[in-house]
Amino acid sequence: MKIRLTLLPYLIWSAVFVIIPLMLVIIFAFSTPEGNFTFNNIILVGKYSYVFLKSIVLGLVSTIVCICVGYPMAYFISKIKAKYQNVVIMLLMIPMWTSFLLRTYSWMTILEYNGLINKFLSSVGISKINMINTPGAIVLGMVYNFLPYMILPIYTILAKTDEKVIEAAQDLGANNLKVFWKVIFPLSIPGVVSGFTMVFVPSVSTFIISKMLGGGSIFVIGDLIEMQFLGNTYNPYLGSAISLVLMLMIVICMGIMNQLDSEENANT
């Protein structure tokens, strides 16, 4: 009985602040302002399917960019002297301690038409490029904000990889490239998978980055939800329905990732 007692506050807490709120989202998604049951909200969500599509594409692109950029970084970190690894990882995490809003805002200064990059370009005689308020700027903002979440899990796996496995492969005559593709990469897939979810979920649901770097002209799911709760149109019923669909998508996505993850584990 004693032991349970320490769990109880947490269980109550979770019930009140995690389970009930999610229930409320579901209830709101299926009710009218008068409190009657309806499917209308869910059907209305369908009208915004392009917004969903666009968010998913943007999220996927930035996740893939994160993998492509983050994987080599994680690999290189795992290859430097163990003594320095902690320092590098620490350096990687320090930016996360500065307000992410300000960092994103800072990108605005850098990318703007009269911003720092364009100032530099025009000073060396190259014509200015339009960078801000494009999908590219949004992807950059997402990659910038979520890259550490990709690097860290991959690094953790790579750092744990047994040197002996690699040596064994080398002894058996595999060249470096082959060792990487046949041994190291398959071993690190769980890291990539958890990095994928850690980047994809926030990218798909962000609304700040699209607002700041997209100039409000690229409309994503986060904007849509924010608009229903605190923005132009106060309609928590539709907002809940959109949140519910978003949650559903992410749950399925997590399911896929879990399957991939456990498969790789089973194989190795």
Partner 1 sequence: MKNKIYFSVLIIAFFSINLCFATNNSINVYSWGEFISNGSDGNMNVNEEFTSLTGIKVNYKTFQNNEELYAKISSGGADYDVIIPSDYMVSKLISKGLLAKLNFDNIPNYSLISDEFKNLEFDPTNSYSVPYMWGLIGIFYNKKEVKVPESDITWDILWDSKYKDKILMFDNARDSFAISLLRLGYSINSKDKDCWRKAADELIKQKPLVQAYVMDQIFDKIGNEEAVLAPYYAGDAAVVLKNNSNIGFVIPKSGTNKFVDSMCIAKNSKRKAEAEKYINFMCSTPVALANVKQTGYSTPQREVYELLSDDIKNNKIFYPDDETLKNAQIFVNLPENINKFMDELWIEVKSGGKTGNSWLLVVILFVFVIMYLLVVLYKKRKTTEK
Partner 2 sequence: MKFFRKIYMFLIFLFLYAPIFVLMVFSFNDSKSRATWHGFTFKWYHRLFENNDILSAFYSTMLIAAISSVIATILGTMAAVGIMKSKKWQRKMIMNITNLPMINPEIVTGVSLMLLFVFLYNHFGIFKPGIVTLIFAHTTFCLPYVILSVMPKLRQMDSHIYEAALDLGCNPTKSFFKVVLPQIMPGIVTGLIMSFTMSIDDFVISYFTGGTTQTLPIAVYSMTRKMVSPEINALSTILFLVVFVLLIVINLRREKDKNSSIYSEY
79-98: contacts with partner 2 (CB under 8 A): 79, 86-98
Q: Which does 232 bind (CB under 5 to 8 A by kind): partner 1, partner 2, none?
A: partner 1
> Which residues contribute to the site for partner 1 (CB under 8 A)?
5, 9, 43, 45-54, 56, 112-114, 130, 132-133, 214-217, 219, 223-224, 227, 229-236, 245, 248-249, 252-253, 255-256, 259-260, 262-263, 266-267
Query: Taking CB under 8 A as the rule, does residue 138 contact partner 2?
Result: no
Q: Which one of 37-45, 73-81, 126-134, 165-173 is the stretch in contact with partner 2 (CB under 8 A)?
A: 73-81
Q: Which one of 14-22, 60-68, 122-130, 181-189 is the stretch in contact with partner 2 (CB under 8 A)?
A: 14-22
Which residues are CB-neighbours of 194 under 8 A, at least 6 positions away? 153, 257, 261
Structure-block tokens of residue 210? 């699209």
Least distance between partner 1 and beta carbon 163 (Å): 28
Length of the chain: 268
- Measure the CA–CA gap between 183 and 161, rounded to whole angstroms: 10
Which is nearer to partner 2, 58 or 147 (by Cβ)? 147
Structure-block tokens of residue 88? 């590098």
Q: Which one of 33-41, 43-51, 102-110, 186-194 is the stretch in contact with partner 2 (CB under 8 A)?
A: 102-110
**Residue 239: is it exposed, middle or buried by C-beta count within 10 angstroms (0-12/13-18/19+)?**
buried
161-200: contacts with partner 2 (CB under 8 A): 197
Q: Which of 42, 56, 60, 110 binds partner 2 (CB under 8 A)?
A: 110
Which residues are CB-neighbours of 254 under 8 A, at least 6 positions away? 197
Residue 124 amino acid letter: V
Determine the Cα angle at 247 with ends 241 and 253, to 5°.
Answer: 145
- Measure the CA–CA gap between 233 and 235, rounded to whole angstroms: 6
- Measure the CA–CA gap between 37 and 14, rounded to whole angstroms: 27
Query: Taking CB under 8 A as the rule, does residue 232 contact partner 2?
Result: no
Query: Taking CB under 8 A as the rule, does residue 9 contact partner 2?
Result: yes
Residue 81 amino acid letter: K
Structure-block tokens of residue 149? 């979440």
Q: Which of 58, 183, 239, 261 binds partner 2 (CB under 8 A)?
A: 239
In the chain, what is the straight-line distance between the N-terminal and C-terminal CA atoms, in Å? 41
Cβ(188)–Cβ(154) under 8 Å?
Answer: yes
Query: Taking CB under 8 A as the rule, does residue 37 contact partner 2?
Result: no
Q: Which does 47 bind (CB under 5 to 8 A by kind): partner 2, partner 1, none?
A: partner 1
Which is nearer to partner 1, 77 or 131 (by Cβ)? 131
Which is nearer to partner 2, 133 or 197 (by Cβ)? 197
